[in-house]
Amino acid sequence: MKGSWPLLLAVSAVWAVVWVATQMTTDTPLATGPTVAIGLVVTLIAVWGYPSAMRGPRAFGRLSAGALNRPQRNALEIVNRTLPYLRDGLNKQTASRSARLLLPLTGGSSVLITDTMSILGSAGRRRVSDSDSQALPDVSATMFASGSVSTLRVLGQTEVSVPLLVEEDVVGALVVTYEPGETPQTAHLASIANLLSLHLEVAELTQRAQHTADARLDALRAQINPHFLFNILNTIASKSRTNPDEARQLLQRLADFFRYAIDQENQFAEFAHEYFFVRTYLSLEKARFEERLNLHYDVDPQILPAQVPVLTIQPLVENAVKHGLASKTGGGTVSLKARVDPLAGSIKIEVKDDGVGMEADILRDVVDGSYSSSGQGGVALRNIHQRLDGLYGTRYRFDIRSSPGKGTKVELELPL
CATH number of the domain to which 97 belongs: 3.30.450.40
Q: Domain limits at 125?
A: 91-209
> Is 215 contained in some domain?
no
Q: Which of 106-110, 201-205, 298-302, 343-347 has the lowest mean pLDDT?
A: 201-205
Is there a single domain that holds both residue 400 and residue 260? yes
Q: How many domains does the chain have?
A: 3
> Is 85 contained in some domain?
no
Nearest to 273 by CA among 283, 261, 284, 282: 261
Is there a single domain that holds both residue 315 and residue 376? yes
Is there a single domain that holds both residue 128 and residue 191? yes
Which of 13, 39, 56 is a domain's end point? Answer: 56
Distance CA 64, CA 52 (A): 14
Q: What is the mean pLDDT of the chain?
A: 78
Is there a single domain that holds both residue 314 and residue 233? yes
pLDDT by residue (tens digit) across 76-122?
A: 555 555 555 566 677 787 788 888 888 888 888 888 888 888 888 88
> Is 83 contained in some domain?
no
Is there a single domain that holds both residue 128 and residue 153? yes
How many Cα atoms occupy the beta-carbon half-sphere of 321 within 13 Å?
26
pLDDT range class, residue 54, cuts 50, 70, 90: very low
Is there a single domain that holds both residue 162 and residue 95? yes
Residue 201 φ then ψ, to 5°: -65, -40
Is there a single domain that holds both residue 257 and residue 403? yes
Q: How large is the average pLDDT for residues 251-268? A: 82
Is there a single domain that holds both residue 102 and residue 249? no
Q: Is the pLDDT of residue 232 over 90?
A: no
pTM: predicted TM-score of the whole model, two decimal places = 0.53
Q: Is the pLDDT of residue 133 over 70?
A: no
Nearest to 18 by CA among 52, 46, 48: 46
Distance CA 120, CA 197 (A): 16
Higher pLDDT, 227 or 156: 156
> Is 32 contained in some domain?
yes
